[in-house]
Amino acid sequence: MINRLLVYFGKEWRSSKGRGWIAREFYRGLTTKSQCLYDRARFDTEKFVTDWERLNINVNGQYRELLDDKLTFSKVFQNDLPLVKSLGIIHESRFFPEGDSQVAGGSVEEAVRGLLERWGKVVIKAVRGHSGRSVWILESTKGNTVSINRKELEFCEVIERIQSFPGTKIVTEFVNQGGFPEALYPNSLNTIRVLTLFDEKGPFVGGAVYRIGNRKSAPLDNFSAGGFSAYIGDDGVLGGAAEYLGNKGVRWHDEHPETARRIKGAVIESWNEIRERLLTVARIWPVLKMIGWDVVQTKNSFQIIEANNVPDLDLLQVHKPLLLDERVRKFFYENSICKRK
């Protein structure tokens, strides 16, 4: 309970420097950010899963490690899903190759040079990390500089930045997204977040959104970094895209303001294939009652980037409360997350 309180009050401190501590809604479980995000004028506040309740989610128990640890996830699910190709890991200041990385093991400096020479563009991310805070997209440039998250730095600075972040890192190929997400916004990798839940009837989709990058979030698509979130209907049709504006609330977009590509009403052609594949895999993992899948559409199919143990719910609930759906509400109630019947 103490840790939960510290995390909850810490979230509010980062959001409002503590000003929200005096708000009534804060003691009902909603941080200032969620109060600004959620349409409480249109929907009953009781239908939202609150930030306090999200901190109580532990439905995957000990098996959460399968999702929390990206290295474990890639090893366990590599035969079940089209995962992004792993090229190796960086552990204790050394690179250990995997698969057909075609780069020898050894020092991080030599490995990064070799990886960029062979692949041109790679992704390095912490084995444990979230919200894009520990993701580095590296790309070869002319001379002795390297583009890291679209910012050119000297090679030695890039290595120092990677090495300074503690813990093991996983190195993967960079996925070239397909025509649809590329047309939406080409300067970020735009991904689909799918929430699957597992109840007595089996797995089902509790909600899904398309995360779309923009100038603020690039080269990532993270909603928390200013990217857009567009709800995906059961038929694969996109709704309007939400943009979080801090204390100003939410701005909605029917088309991308920078590319002019239509978002609202656009159809994800491979939606049924993606949904059924994820449900098929979720069905053989009943111990994982909640999974937040990150999917990228490619030219001919799709790939799974990673999966999350307790995914962010705000990018879903900015569109509508999760508990509006009876099956979802029952799941959260029976797993002691929400007390509302």
Which structure tokens are listed for 160? 């120092």
Strand partners, 253: 241
Percent of the residues in the chain that have a pLDDT greater than 90, as a whole number: 75
Instruction: Report pLDDT digits (tens) over 145-179.
Output: 899 988 899 998 999 988 888 899 999 999 999 98
Domains of the chain, earliest start first: 2-54 (no CATH), 61-81+178-309 (3.30.470.20), 86-173 (no CATH)
Whole-number Å distance between alpha carbons of 251 and 234: 24
The answer on pLDDT for 115 being more than 90 is yes
The answer on pLDDT for 123 being more than 80 is yes
The confidence score (pLDDT) of residue 13 equals 77
Neighbouring C-alpha atoms within 13 Å toward the C-beta of 274: 30
Query: What are the C-alpha distances in Å from 306 to residues 34, 99, 172, 236, 246?
Result: 25, 18, 11, 21, 28
The confidence score (pLDDT) of residue 131 equals 60
Instruction: Report pLDDT digits (tens) over 270-299.
Output: 999 999 999 999 999 999 999 999 999 999
Identity of the amino acid at 34:
S
Of the candidates 335, 338, 336, 308, the one whose C-alpha atom is nearest the C-alpha of residue 323 is 338
Percent of the residues in the chain that have a pLDDT greater than 70, as a whole number: 98
The confidence score (pLDDT) of residue 24 equals 83
CA 26 to chain centre: 25
User: What would the mean pLDDT of 136-150 be, rounded to a whole number?
Assistant: 87
E strand or H helix at 253: strand 250-253
The answer on pLDDT for 260 being more than 70 is yes
Residue 125: Cβ within 10 Å count: 20
pTM for this entry: 0.93
Whole-number Å distance between alpha carbons of 31 and 37: 10
